[in-house]
Amino acid sequence: MIFLRSPYNYDTDEASQDSGLVCPEETLTKQAFKEQADINSIVNTFMKTGVMPDTVNMPRYGDFAEALDYHTALNLVMQAEDAFMELPATLRARFENDAGQLLAFLEDDANRAEAEALGLVQAQVIEPAAEPTEGT
């Protein structure tokens, strides 16, 4: 049997209550900032004072032609993570199993001696200066 809806046999309010979204949790949005976030209020303030709000961040421009694309950058991160996971467990534990801490450690030149002791970098070989030859 076909049901044909009409204002006389279908309660739109009841259908809305049955199928509507119900969010019983307390909202995390702070209503105290409602006025400050309202675009109409921001424009009205600007029209009166001629001054933009302090929190407006100006756009930044730059030449990013040499920047990596997302896929390449993600592959580099995955390769670094794989290389970190190949290190011995005790060494990974030294950096709390965080590849970022290892990278920060290696970037600091003050940690060079410890990095050499851990076997993370090769020891620097300082070649002796050439002896002056006689007669020059």
The answer to the question of residue 34 being in a domain is no
Question: Are 112 and 121 a contacting pair, CB within 8 Å?
Answer: yes
Q: Which residue type is seen at 100?
A: G
Q: What are phi and psi of 68, to 5 degrees?
A: -75, 150
The answer to the question of residue 57 being in a domain is no
The answer to the question of residue 3 being in a domain is no
> For position 101, what pLDDT does the model report?
92
* Number of separate domains in the chain: 1
The answer to the question of residue 104 being in a domain is yes
The answer to the question of residue 75 being in a domain is no
The answer to the question of residue 65 being in a domain is no
Domain hosting residue 108, numbered range? 89-122
Mean pLDDT, the chain cut into blocks of 10 residues (136 residues total): 83 85 85 88 91 76 84 91 91 91 91 89 75 66
The answer to the question of residue 114 being in a domain is yes
Rounded Cα distance between 93 and 85, Å, is 11
Residues 6+ apart with CB under 8 A from 67: none
Q: What are phi and psi of 6, to 5 degrees?
A: -150, 165
